Amino acid sequence: MEKIIIFDTTLRDGEQAPGASLETKQKLEIAKQLESLNVDIIEAGFPVASPGDFEAVAIIAKEISRPVVCALARSLKKDIDAAKEALKKAKHPRIHVFLATSKIHMKYKLRKPEAEVLKQAVEAVRYAKRFTSDVEFSPEDASRTQKEFLYRVLEAVIKAGATTVNIPDTVGYAMPQQFGELIRLIRENVSGIDKIVLSVHCHNDLGLAVANSLSAIKNGARQVECTINGLGERAGNAALEEIVMAIKTRRDFLPFTTSIRTTEIYKTSRLVSSLTGFTVQPNKAIVGRNAFRHESGIHQDGILKEPRTYEIMSPEDIGLKISGLVLGKHSGRHAFNERLKKLGFRLKSKELERAFMRFKELADKKKEVFDEDIVAIIEDEIKQIPQTWHLEYLHIVSGTDTVPTATVRLRYKNKIIQDAASGDGPVDACYRAIERITGIKGELEDYTIKSVTKGREALGEVTVKLKYKGKLFTGRGATTDVIEASAKAYVNAINKIVYKG
Ligand code: KIV
Ligand code: ZN
């Protein structure tokens, strides 16, 4: 069976999603998890775009050993120089150059005629080739490009040394049959195409990114560019987990393999969701909370008799261990640590101690502690930046006929500071009190709340996005009390402001 190369662009195109920006440390954490997932290529960023992007690509290039690390560049010398510089320490560097080729982009955006665009693309590939043998070229907006011109550009960049050519459906305009046909025509009309890797990159504006990618594979594409949870510009990119599981589940129709360790999918999805603050919709294919849940009696009965009656994949395939009741309040440290290892976490002894304390507190409040609860505790407690401000105490007065009031006590460098405030609701009152204490007043851009598992005593997980001096900071908090979780999320975002400035 032929292999489909998985090119992950979560850290580049995914991070372009408005509000999804990540710090370098978080990008490195995701890159390491992508390595555990065993993706073939990690597109780590767009180095010329900002010093932060440059730094992230450089660190990822240094730290990641097996996958190819790729940096994006416009077809300009200064972009390619920045990409080369950022990739200096990469074991397997790739430079990805792109240039728009559709009439609309050439006329209004580039303001250049075809001949000039073609020349620029060739020169860019030749220039990138001086630094690495692995060069990818993307004719941006390829699906809306005149076919004859597209063939000419592809042929020319292949002659110039491109080893991968990537066909982007930049604006998510293509239909699956049409996009598959385009790939077939490219294979039939571009000389030299059989010597290089043909790739696709689909956006999801019409909800067809995965369908278009699969249709392209059927017609000869051998690399797909995708992101975890389908994160990306506008409606996002093709979701990695959906493409990989479609190939794995429908081998009869798609006789291909990928290198992906599918049991790492769930963990990767959780990590990207928690670090970007983009929650995954419950009915999202593969990684949504409900993707493997069966509510109707008829379905439950079928599943108990034979899981394959209603399950085309098993939850274990994506690393989701539906183990029901995992641990209870009598469980010890050893059992807890063993469970953590099964979930893929290796904690240092101090971290383990903190996580275990949180687990015990939770087990006291909650009869059943599920794997999802444990994952939430780890993400909430362990993967933290320095806790400059720490929530010590919270008291809320709220009701139908009362002005909601919050009394909050925060710890700051061994000093306890208390203040109170009223607001439109208990959360607002709480946030006002926190602002009074810390002196930091951000603009609340987004607030989401979800339960981690089912049941009244479930953990509530709150994510906030706070805008401060033009930058967005994401904070998370999870406890069984949703107001406390809201306060923790807010304090977490403030700690990021203090840490990152
Ligand atoms: O969508 C797009 O066209 C891109 C290119 C840079 C590949 O992201
Ligand atoms: Zn894109």
Q: CA geometry: angle at 404 spanning 400 and 405, to 5°?
A: 150
- Is 201 touching ligand 1 by the criterion CB < 6 Å? yes
- Specify whether 44 is located in the same domain as 137: yes
CATH of the domain at 398: 3.30.160.270
Query: 45 C-alpha to center of ligand 1: Å?
Result: 12
Q: Which long-range contacts (CB under 8 A, 24 or more apart) does 287-294 make?
A: 287/229, 287/241, 287/318, 292/320, 292/322
For residue 225, give the ligand 1 atom closest to its CA.
7
- Specify whether 259 is located in the same domain as 146: yes
- Specify whether 268 is located in the same domain as 137: yes
- Specify whether 353 is located in the same domain as 407: no
Any idea which ligand is nearest the CA of 166? 1
> Which residue's CA is the closest to the ligand 1 atom numbered 1?
170
Query: 100 C-alpha to center of ligand 1: Å?
Result: 9
Query: What is the residue-level pLDDT of the chain in tens, covering all 501 positions?
Result: 999 999 999 999 999 898 887 889 999 999 999 999 999 999 999 999 999 999 999 999 999 999 999 999 999 999 999 999 999 999 999 999 999 999 999 999 999 999 999 999 999 999 999 999 999 999 999 999 999 999 999 999 999 999 999 999 999 999 999 999 999 999 999 999 999 999 999 999 999 999 999 999 999 999 999 999 999 999 999 999 999 999 999 999 999 999 999 999 999 998 999 888 888 988 999 999 888 877 677 887 887 888 889 889 999 999 986 554 457 778 788 888 887 877 767 778 888 888 898 888 888 877 678 777 887 888 776 656 778 999 999 999 999 989 999 999 999 988 999 999 999 999 999 999 999 999 999 999 889 898 877 777 788 889 898 888 887 788 888 888 999 999 999 999 999 888 866
CA 425: distance to chain centroid? 32
CA 187: distance to chain centroid? 32
- Is 137 touching ligand 1 by the criterion CB < 6 Å? no
- Is 96 touching ligand 1 by the criterion CB < 6 Å? no
Query: Which of 335, 361, 381 is the C-terminal boundary of a domain?
Result: 381
For residue 168, give the ligand 1 atom closest to its CA.
3
Pocket test of ligand 1: the residue of 53, 173, 201, 212 to mutate, having most ligand atoms within 8 Å of its CB, is 201
- Specify whether 375 is located in the same domain as 428: no
- Specify whether 312 is located in the same domain as 399: no
- Is 13 touching ligand 1 by the criterion CB < 6 Å? yes
Structure letter (DSSP) for residue 106: I
Closest CA to 62 of 97, 24, 8: 24
CB neighbours of 328 closer than 8 A, spacing ≥ 6?
363, 367, 368, 369
- Specify whether 226 is located in the same domain as 92: yes
> Which residue's CA is the closest to the ligand 1 atom numbered 6?
98
- Is 496 touching ligand 1 by the criterion CB < 6 Å? no
- Is 140 touching ligand 1 by the criterion CB < 6 Å? yes
pTM higher than 0.75: yes
- Specify whether 429 is located in the same domain as 410: yes
Query: 374 C-alpha to center of ligand 2: Å?
Result: 34
Domain count, the chain: 4
18: helix, strand or coil: coil
- Specify whether 370 is located in the same domain as 395: no
Which residue segment(s) compose the domain that 409 sits in?
389-500
Q: Do residues 226 and 243 touch, judged by C-beta distance below 8 A?
A: yes
pLDDT at residue 344 in the model: 67
- Specify whether 301 is located in the same domain as 189: no
- Specify whether 316 is located in the same domain as 332: no
